[in-house]
């Protein structure tokens, strides 16, 4: 017993050393932490932080937390990307060695997909969905906070790998046997497994939460076929999450058992199958790609319709195409490893299922184009990002069809051609969608509009940089350059393309910095949004004030059709009298401390397991279970009513007649 | 003004891109054998089909942007009631279907044809490829010789590569001769390649396998048939024999130079674990696996014997 409790096996390196970049990171982590502690203490903000943010269950605040985390992760992943591009600027550079490069591309991929794209979109869902369907919060507000804090715990755990114990270095796909204990011992790969496991729980809970919210909490009159497209895309995404994430959970658990407890699921000795990881990973991984693209499709639909001043063209076709994409997403996973010898029948079938995805996606693109037809297109910044999405996503899409052809894929697989393709769809689709959505919903979150002029500068820097960065990758891919090479020899005709790509990457970086500067600049000098409807919006979220009151709607609106708020405005203009409805006290959930405490314990558990200190892991797991049980036995006094007087005061202050 | 900056930047990018296009003829777009040629044809066909889609969408996109942008002349815009058009939607569902059929048929045909020898009338040669941390080992079972980090093949002769691995997965890729296939531990896979003429082609690992993965580049030297035979005879005469110990040392992680051996030890790499140690057969008192597993083992033993025979024949 004593041996178990006090036996801390230290890894070879606990503190990562030996590189000025790492020392710089230590210093900056310590300085930033001290700075935050000082500011919070000096301005006596600890109570405020705890009450308003750490224990909040308000979907709007949780959304902001998600976006803040996502932007930080975008920065981290972006720095990784810039470091890789610097290393590849010219042949045979020694800016990074192989070990560092391998860690950096692994964290870049993992962070961008799981800790940037997903929380970014989930953040936007949090902000917009309850407002868009005319609800006062999500179905399970406290569970929503659990989702966020689980994600935060997982992301934090993954990120400290940089300085404590070393980062994972087997790629974001983490294929066995490379990622197994025999070939990659130490804490690095454990960080990957446990970071993803903990944040994955959060994502799964989000999926359940939004499914129930959308099915059960729509405003009266809003049937499914009167629901805005972003809500539809979130509903479908939630279903994909619920089906796909358990597969990841299982795969990670099996590999964790292999690595920490000596099981043999993926090792040759003992009869395991390394190939099984590739299957499990992509059975989750391909739907995951659609989890991050469908919400972006929803956002684009909203934005096109708003700024073309027109109903979305082919609404039902748009919904059906998303449904068929979600179904197809589960039957294409083998296309990630056509080259692993599945045989001609399997490859042919998965080639064809993959090509089929082009049909609903094509339908969507044409419907977006015809939404513009006969409209009046206003080139606001969100619209610019949405319009920019069409040509870049088109490039990603058609190269995707090229990749779907198995025999041709033998020549593209794992080459930079593939890298070009998936960055074109993931940046062109997801990131453009995220930024468009961020700027679009910015006034709803903070009550001011982001500066348009700076916004356009950011857009052009990013877009031109993006194309300069990734078009060359298609070409060097065809010239035989494979992904994850930390350097390359001269004389293969790759030099100039890599140089252009690096210049492009810096252009994207500048675009990102202008975007962030714009947030600060607009906070100081931006135009305030006093109406709550800065874009002349069509859906219910624009009916609330900016930012929306805690209870969202003093009176839940009645929905008469698609683009509900547009119809209400039209009726008002036609002089139809509004129904007089009496205000009632509003039932709201109270803040909860258990989500952040429980996730804190999960973080401790994860940290313990990463270093294979099972006693620490056990404390963390026990702690989170006890917190959960404690919460279950204290399930009363979790809600309160906002009195009518207070609602009236808030509404009057926002300039509304009640 | 802002638009103009955009145009200038786009022009600049295009100019840069075009300046590099003359050197496109290498790698995948420079097929040097029948397998690569089949894949090249398919790639070009898919590019043609996709160009149709690309042009159609871009033309529509630009048209919509120019025609329907907000101007002072359309300030009195009233939202049209039209919200869908059945025929248009049928049209843009049907056209992609046709395009996909046009791509799917050659895809399936090529997928099946790549399973067979590219030149069925020619007698093929078999070469066993093993990737190990971080090197390529090529065994010639018919000749009984072994090379490391380079492979010589006869021109105009179909080569049947038998792929396997010790340690992590790699992918065996020689773009100018044809597409890749993974090398996996515990499982043998096959890849047909053939070179049209003599020459040297660069191959590399296309799947990340750890620290020195980047350096897993190797030359494929295609030699005229007679020259190839001379080379084999020369190797058998002059190159050292490889002992079991030398082979095991070779499997240890690291980067090595090109090597040539006139013989190799009889070791089934499919029975080595991630670190190159023999996998001990599980000691099961009862036979859970049934006949399937047993047959498989016998088959492997048979294959080993065959290798051994061909080995001795050449001595």
Which of residues 198 through 237 in chain A touch B, CB cutoff 8 A?
Answer: none
Residue A70 domain-assigned? yes
Locate tokens 């597993």: which residue? Answer: B293
Q: How far apart are CA B121 and CA B114, in angstroms?
A: 15
Is residue B311 a contact partner of residue B241, using CB atoms and an 8 Å limit? no
The reply to whether residue B114 touches residue A485, judged by beta carbons under 8 angstroms, is: no
- The reported pLDDT for the residue numbered B284 is 52
The reply to whether residue B168 touches residue A183, judged by beta carbons under 8 angstroms, is: yes
DSSP per position, A481-513: PBTT-S---TTSS-HHHHHHHHHHHHHHHHHHH
pLDDT of A260 over the 80 cut = yes
pLDDT of B23 over the 70 cut = no
State the smallest CA–CA distance between residue A415 and chain B in angstroms: 7
Enumerate the residues of chain A whose CB falls inside 8 A of the CB of residue B27: 478-480
Q: Which residue has the higher pLDDT, B293 or A541?
A: A541
Assign B12 a pLDDT band (cuts: 50, 70, 90): low
Mean pLDDT score of chain B, rounded to an integer? 85
Q: How far apart are CA A654 and CA B286, in angstroms?
A: 78
Residues comprising chain B, all counted: 315
Preceding omega of B134 cis (within 30 degrees of 0): yes
Sign of the C-alpha dihedral computed for residues A140, A146, A152 and A158 taken in this order? negative
Is residue A318 a contact partner of residue A386, using CB atoms and an 8 Å limit? no
Residue B71, judged by CB atoms within 10 A of its CB (0-12, 13-18, 19+), counts as exposed
pLDDT of A586 over the 60 cut = yes
- The reported pLDDT for the residue numbered B57 is 96
Helix axes A381-404, A432-446, angle to 10 degrees: 150
**Which residue in A92, A405, A492 has the most chain B C-beta atoms within 10 A of its own C-beta, making it the best mutation to test that interface?**
A405
Write out pLDDT tens, residues B144-164. 999 999 999 999 999 999 999
Enumerate the residues of chain B whose CB falls inside 8 A of the CB of residue A374: 68, 80, 82
The reply to whether residue A485 touches residue B9, judged by beta carbons under 8 angstroms, is: no
The reply to whether residue B112 touches residue A344, judged by beta carbons under 8 angstroms, is: yes
Is residue A380 a contact partner of residue B72, using CB atoms and an 8 Å limit? no
pLDDT of B301 over the 60 cut = no
Q: Strands (DSSP E) along A364-455, which ranges? A: none
Assign B72 a pLDDT band (cuts: 50, 70, 90): confident
- The reported pLDDT for the residue numbered B114 is 95
Q: How far apart are CA B206 and CA A339, in angstroms?
A: 11
- The reported pLDDT for the residue numbered B287 is 45
By the CB < 8 Å criterion, does A569 face chain B?
Answer: no
State the pairing for strand pair A639-642/A586-589. antiparallel
Preceding omega of A571 cis (within 30 degrees of 0): no
Q: Write out the two tokens for A540.
A: 């219910």
Q: How far apart are CA A535 and CA A64, in angstroms?
A: 20
Q: Strands (DSSP E) along chain B, which ranges? A: 125-132, 135-140, 145-148, 150-154, 159-165, 170-174, 178-183, 189-193, 199-205, 217-223, 259-261
Residue B109: closest C-alpha in chain A = A348
Q: Identify the DSSP state of A136.
A: S
Write out pLDDT tens, residues A627-653. 999 999 988 888 999 999 999 999 888
Which of residues 283 through 342 in chain A touch B, CB cutoff 8 A?
Answer: 308-317, 337, 339-341
Residue B23: closest C-alpha in chain A = A493
Q: Identify the DSSP state of B267.
A: -
Q: Write out the two tokens for B288.
A: 């859970």
Which of residues 440 through 469 in chain A touch B, CB cutoff 8 A?
Answer: 456-457, 460, 464, 467-468
- The reported pLDDT for the residue numbered B309 is 38
Count of domains for chain A? 1
Read off the pLDDT of each residue in A596-621 and give the average, rounded to a whole number: 95
The reply to whether residue A358 touches residue B92, judged by beta carbons under 8 angstroms, is: no
The reply to whether residue B85 touches residue A370, judged by beta carbons under 8 angstroms, is: yes
- Report helix, strand or coil for A401: helix
Which of residues 362 through 401 in chain A touch B, CB cutoff 8 A?
Answer: 362-363, 365-367, 369-370, 372-379, 387, 390-391, 394-395, 398-399, 401
- The reported pLDDT for the residue numbered B71 is 87
Q: Write out the two tokens for B1.
A: 């003004």
Give whole-number Cα distances, A482 to A404, A412, A477, B78, in Å: 18, 9, 7, 53
- The reported pLDDT for the residue numbered B14 is 59
Residue A414: closest C-alpha in chain B = B206
Weakest mean pLDDT among A1-10, B166-175, B229-238: A1-10
Give residue A108's domain range.
Answer: 1-266
CA-closest candidate to residue A512, choices A112, A193, A15? A112
Residue A152 domain-assigned? yes
Which of residues 405 through 444 in chain A touch B, CB cutoff 8 A?
Answer: 405-415, 417
Assign A507 a pLDDT band (cuts: 50, 70, 90): very high
Q: Identify the DSSP state of A266.
A: S
Residue B47: closest C-alpha in chain A = A402
State the smallest CA–CA distance between residue A122 and chain B in angstroms: 29
Enumerate the residues of chain B whose CB falls inside 8 A of the CB of residue A474: none
Q: What are phi and psi of B184, to 5 degrees?
A: -125, 145
The reply to whether residue A365 touches residue B97, judged by beta carbons under 8 angstroms, is: no
The radius of gyration of chain B from alpha carbons, rounded to an integer in Å, stands at 27
- The reported pLDDT for the residue numbered A35 is 86
Give exposure, B242-274, as e/b (b: 16+ Cβ within 10 Å).
beeeebeebbeeeebeebbbbbbeebebbbbbb
The reply to whether residue A340 touches residue B217, judged by beta carbons under 8 angstroms, is: no
pLDDT of B111 over the 70 cut = yes
State the smallest CA–CA distance between residue A317 and chain B in angstroms: 8
Weakest mean pLDDT among A15-29, B78-92, B237-251: A15-29
DSSP per position, A553-572: -SSPPPP-SSSHHHHHHHHH
Cα angle at A522 between A516 and A526, to 5 degrees?
A: 160
Q: Write out the two tokens for A489.
A: 């020899």
Residue A107 domain-assigned? yes
Read off the pLDDT of each residue in B306-310 and give the average, rounded to a whole number: 39
- Report helix, strand or coil for A431: helix
Q: Write out the two tokens for A28.
A: 């900056």
- The reported pLDDT for the residue numbered A397 is 96
Q: Which residue has the higher pLDDT, A76 or B298?
A: A76
CATH number of the domain located at residue range(s) B125-264 in this protein: 2.60.40.420
- The reported pLDDT for the residue numbered B308 is 40
By the CB < 8 Å criterion, does A490 face chain B?
Answer: no
- The reported pLDDT for the residue numbered B310 is 37
Q: How far apart are CA B200 and CA B193, in angstroms?
A: 14
Is residue B227 a contact partner of residue B221, using CB atoms and an 8 Å limit? no
Read off the pLDDT of each residue in A314-341 and give the average, rounded to a whole number: 95
pLDDT of B142 over the 60 cut = yes
Q: Which residue in B10, B24, B110 is closest to A407 by CB distance? A: B110
pLDDT of B293 over the 80 cut = no
- The reported pLDDT for the residue numbered B19 is 52
Residue A228, judged by CB atoms within 10 A of its CB (0-12, 13-18, 19+), counts as buried
Enumerate the residues of chain A whose CB falls inside 8 A of the CB of residue B280: 269
What is the percent of chain A with per-residue pLDDT over 90, rounded to a whole number? Answer: 84
Read off the pLDDT of each residue in A107-112 and give the average, rounded to a whole number: 97
CA-closest candidate to residue B179, choices B126, B104, B111? B111
State the pairing for strand pair B199-205/B125-132. unpaired
Torsion-angle region of residue A92: left (phi > 0), alpha (psi -120 to 50) or beta?
Answer: left
pLDDT of B215 over the 80 cut = yes
Q: How far apart are CA A459 and CA A514, in angstroms?
A: 9
The reply to whether residue B92 touches residue A366, judged by beta carbons under 8 angstroms, is: yes
The reply to whether residue B175 touches residue A310, judged by beta carbons under 8 angstroms, is: no
Assign B313 a pLDDT band (cuts: 50, 70, 90): very low
The reply to whether residue A274 touches residue B184, judged by beta carbons under 8 angstroms, is: yes
pLDDT of A162 over the 70 cut = yes
- The reported pLDDT for the residue numbered B314 is 38
The reply to whether residue B65 touches residue A356, judged by beta carbons under 8 angstroms, is: no
Q: How far apart are CA A147 and CA A387, in angstroms?
A: 32
Enumerate the residues of chain B whose CB falls inside 8 A of the CB of residue A351: 104, 107-108, 111
Enumerate the residues of chain B whose CB falls inside 8 A of the CB of residue A563: none
Q: Which residue in A99, A267, A374 is closest to B274 by CB distance? A: A267
Residue A199 domain-assigned? yes
Residue A307 domain-assigned? no
What is the percent of chain B with per-residue pLDDT over 90, rounded to a whole number? Answer: 69
Is residue B216 a contact partner of residue B134, using CB atoms and an 8 Å limit? yes
Write out pLDDT tens, residues A440-459. 999 999 999 999 999 999 99
Mean pLDDT score of chain A, rounded to an integer? 93
What is the percent of chain B with per-residue pLDDT over 70, rounded to a whole number? Answer: 81
CATH number of the domain within which A140 lies = 1.20.210.10
Residue A280 domain-assigned? no
CA A63 to chain centre: 12
The reply to whether residue B58 touches residue A394, judged by beta carbons under 8 angstroms, is: yes
State the smallest CA–CA distance between residue B206 and chain A in angstroms: 6
State the smallest CA–CA distance between residue A207 and chain B in angstroms: 30
Residue A364 domain-assigned? no
Locate tokens 């983490």: which residue? Answer: A174
Give whole-number Cα distances, A392 to A21, A141, A385, A387, B243, in Å: 34, 37, 11, 9, 56
Is residue B280 a contact partner of residue A268, using CB atoms and an 8 Å limit? no
- Report helix, strand or coil for A576: coil
**Which residue in B17, B36, B206, B288 has the most chain A C-beta atoms within 10 A of its own C-beta, making it the best mutation to test that interface?**
B206
């Amino acid at each position: 017993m004593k041996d178990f409790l006090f036996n801390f096996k230290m890894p070879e390196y606990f503190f990562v050393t030996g590189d000025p970049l790492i020392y710089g990171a230590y210093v900056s982590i310590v300085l930033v932490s001290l700075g935050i502690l000082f500011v919070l203490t000096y301005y006596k903000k600890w109570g405020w932080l705890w009450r308003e943010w750490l224990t909040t269950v308000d979907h709007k605040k949780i959304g902001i937390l998600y976006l803040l985390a996502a932007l930080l992760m975008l920065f981290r992943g972006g720095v990784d990307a810039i470091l890789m591009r610097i290393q590849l600027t010219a042949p045979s550079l020694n800016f990074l060695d192989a070990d560092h490069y391998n860690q950096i591309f692994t964290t870049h991929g993992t962070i961008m997909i799981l800790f940037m794209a997903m929380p970014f979109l989930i953040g936007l869902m949090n902000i917009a969905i309850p407002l868009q369907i005319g609800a006062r919060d999500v179905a399970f507000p406290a569970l929503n906070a659990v989702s966020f804090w689980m994600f935060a715990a997982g992301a934090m755990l993954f990120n400290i790998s940089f300085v404590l114990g070393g980062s994972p270095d087997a790629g974001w796909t983490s294929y066995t046997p490379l990622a197994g204990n025999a070939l990659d011992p130490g804490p690095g790969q454990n960080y990957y497994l446990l970071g993803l496991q903990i944040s994955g729980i959060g994502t799964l809970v989000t999926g359940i939460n939004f499914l129930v919210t959308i099915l059960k909490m729509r405003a009266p009159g809003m049937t499914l076929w009167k629901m805005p497209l972003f809500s539809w895309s979130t509903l479908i995404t939630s279903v994909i999450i619920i089906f796909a994430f358990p597969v990841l959970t299982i795969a990670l658990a099996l590999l964790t058992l292999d690595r920490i407890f000596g099981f043999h699921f993926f090792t040759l000795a003992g009869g395991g199958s390394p190939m099984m990881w590739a299957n499990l990973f992509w059975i989750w991984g391909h739907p995951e790609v659609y989890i991050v693209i469908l919400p972006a499709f929803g956002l684009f639909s909203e934005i096109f319709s708003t700024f073309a001043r027109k109903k979305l063209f082919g609404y039902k076709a748009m919904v059906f195409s998303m449904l068929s994409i979600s179904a197809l997403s589960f039957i294409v996973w083998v296309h990630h490893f056509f080259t692993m010898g599945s045989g001609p029948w399997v490859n042919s079938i998965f080639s064809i299922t993959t090509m089929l995805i082009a049909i609903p996606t094509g339908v969507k693109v044409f419907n977006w184009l015809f939404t513009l037809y006969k409209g009046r297109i206003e080139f606001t910044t969100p619209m610019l990002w949405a319009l920019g999405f069409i040509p870049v996503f088109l490039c990603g899409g058609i190269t995707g069809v090229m990749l779907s052809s198995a025999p041709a894929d033998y020549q593209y697989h794992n080459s930079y051609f593939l890298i070009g393709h998936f960055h074109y769809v993931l940046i062109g689709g997801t990131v453009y969608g995220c930024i468009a959505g961020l700027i679009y919903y910015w006034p709803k979150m903070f009550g001011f509009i982001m500066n348009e002029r700076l916004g356009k500068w950011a857009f052009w820097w990013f877009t031109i940089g993006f194309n300069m960065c990734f078009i060359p990758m298609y070409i060097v891919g065809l010239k035989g350059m494979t992904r994850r090479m930390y350097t390359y020899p001269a004389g293969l005709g790759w030099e100039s393309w890599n140089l252009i790509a690096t210049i492009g990457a810096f252009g994207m970086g500048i675009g990102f910095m202008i975007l962030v500067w714009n947030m600060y600049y607009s906070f100081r000098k931006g135009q305030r949004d006093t109406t709550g409807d800065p874009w002349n919006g069509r859906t219910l979220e624009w009916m609330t004030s900016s930012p929306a009151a805690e209870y969202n709607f003093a009176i839940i609106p009645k929905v008469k059709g698609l683009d509900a708020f547009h119809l209400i405005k039209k009726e008002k203009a036609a002089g139809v009298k509004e129904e007089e409805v009496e205000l009632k006290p509003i039932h709201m959930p109270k803040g909860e401390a258990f989500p952040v405490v429980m996730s804190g314990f999960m973080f401790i558990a994860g940290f313990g397991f990463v270093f294979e200190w099972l006693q620490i892991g056990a404390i963390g797991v026990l702690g989170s279970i006890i917190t959960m049980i404690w919460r279950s036995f204290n399930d009363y006094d979790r809600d309160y009513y906002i009195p009518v007087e207070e609602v009236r005061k808030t509404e009057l202050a926002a300039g509304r007649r009640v | 003004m802002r638009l103009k900056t955009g145009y200038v930047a786009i022009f600049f990018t295009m100019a840069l891109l075009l300046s590099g296009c003359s050197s496109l003829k290498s790698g995948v777009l420079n097929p040097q054998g029948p397998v690569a040629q089949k894949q090249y044809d398919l790639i070009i066909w898919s590019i043609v089909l996709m160009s149709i889609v690309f042009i159609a969408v871009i033309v529509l996109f630009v048209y919509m942007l120019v025609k329907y942008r907000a101007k002072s002349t359309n300030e009195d815009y009233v939202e049209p009631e039209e919200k869908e058009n059945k025929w248009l939607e049928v049209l843009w569902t049907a056209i992609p279907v046709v395009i996909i059929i046009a791509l799917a048929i050659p895809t399936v045909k090529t997928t099946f044809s790549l399973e067979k020898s590219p030149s069925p009338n020619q007698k093929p040669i078999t070469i066993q490829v093993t990737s190990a941390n971080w090197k390529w080992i090529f065994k010639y079972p018919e000749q009984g010789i072994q090379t490391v980090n380079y492979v010589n093949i006869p021109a105009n002769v179909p080569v049947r590569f038998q792929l396997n691995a010790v340690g992590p997965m790699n992918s065996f890729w020689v773009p100018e001769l044809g597409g890749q296939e993974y090398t996996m531990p515990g499982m043998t896979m096959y890849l047909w390649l053939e070179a049209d003429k003599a020459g040297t082609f660069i191959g590399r690992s296309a799947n990340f396998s750890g620290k020195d993965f980047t350096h897993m580049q190797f030359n494929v030297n295609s030699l005229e048939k007679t020259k190839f035979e001379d080379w084999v005879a020369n190797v058998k005469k002059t190159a050292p024999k490889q002992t079991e110990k030398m082979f095991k040392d070779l499997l240890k992680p690291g980067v090595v130079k090109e090597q040539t051996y006139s013989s190799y030890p009889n070791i089934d790499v499919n029975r080595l674990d991630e670190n190159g140690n023999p996998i001990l057969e599980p000691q099961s008192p009862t036979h859970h696996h049934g006949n399937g597993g047993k047959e498989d083992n016998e088959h492997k033993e048979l294959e080993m014997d065959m290798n051994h025979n061909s080995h001795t024949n050449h001595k």
